[in-house]
C-alpha cells in the first residue's frame, strides 16, 4: 500500500502564540529591543558630549523630559525581565562539576545577581548617586 504522510505546517508568524512557554520566550527576546535602543541613546550621548556643553545639556534635557523618563522606566523594567530570564537559565549552560557533584544551580544564579549588584553599586558611586 502506498504511503501518504500528512504534514502539518507550523505558522511562521504566529507559532509563538500556541503555548505559554513560547510567549515567555518571545517576551524575553522582545525585551532586548529596549536594551538595544537604550544602548544607542547612551552612545548618542557620548557623541553629543563630544560636540560641546550645549549639545550635552540638550541630550540631558531630552532624558529628563516626560517622554525620556517614561522610556527609561520601561527600558529598566524590560532590562530586569531580561536579566531574570537569562540568569534563570545560566546553570544549564554553565555546569560546574566538583568531584562527583555539580555546584547547585541556585548558587550560580545567586553569584550572578551578586556580581550584578556589585557592578551596579560601583556605577552608582561613580555617578555620584550612592
Which residues contact other proteins (rule: CB under 8 A)? Answer: 1, 3-8, 10, 12, 15-16, 18-19, 21-22, 25, 89, 91-93, 95, 97, 99-101
Nearer to other proteins, 33 or 46 (CB): 33
Cell of 93: 549552560
* 47 vs 101: CA distance, rounded Å: 50
DSSP H or E stretch at residue 67? helix 66-93
For the bound state, the minimum distance from the C-beta of residue 101 to other proteins, rounded and expressed in Å, comes to 8
List of residues 6+ apart from 22 with CB closer than 8 A: 15, 16
Q: In a 3-state reduction of DSSP, which class is residue 127?
A: coil
For the bound state, the minimum distance from the C-beta of residue 8 to other proteins, rounded and expressed in Å, comes to 7
For the bound state, the minimum distance from the C-beta of residue 118 to other proteins, rounded and expressed in Å, comes to 24
* 130 vs 122: CA distance, rounded Å: 9
For the bound state, the minimum distance from the C-beta of residue 96 to other proteins, rounded and expressed in Å, comes to 11
Q: What angle do CA 13, 88, 20 make, to 5 degrees?
A: 35
Nearer to other proteins, 48 or 82 (CB): 82
Nearer to other proteins, 89 or 121 (CB): 89
Nearer to other proteins, 76 or 84 (CB): 84
Amino acid at each position: 500500500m502506498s504511503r501518504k504522510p500528512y504534514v502539518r505546517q507550523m505558522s511562521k508568524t504566529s507559532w509563538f502564540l500556541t503555548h505559554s512557554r513560547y510567549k515567555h520566550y518571545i517576551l524575553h527576546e522582545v525585551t532586548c529591543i529596549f536594551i538595544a535602543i537604550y544602548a544607542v541613546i547612551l552612545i548618542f550621548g557620548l557623541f553629543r558630549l563630544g560636540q560641546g556643553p550645549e549639545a550635552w545639556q540638550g541630550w540631558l534635557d531630552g532624558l529628563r523630559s516626560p517622554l525620556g523618563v517614561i522610556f527609561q522606566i520601561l527600558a529598566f523594567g524590560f532590562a530586569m525581565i531580561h536579566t531574570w530570564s537569562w540568569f534563570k537559565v545560566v546553570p544549564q549552560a554553565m555546569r560546574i562539576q566538583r568531584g562527583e557533584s555539580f555546584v547547585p544551580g541556585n548558587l550560580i544564579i545567586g553569584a550572578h545577581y551578586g556580581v550584578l549588584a556589585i557592578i551596579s553599586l560601583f556605577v552608582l558611586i561613580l555617578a555620584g548617586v550612592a
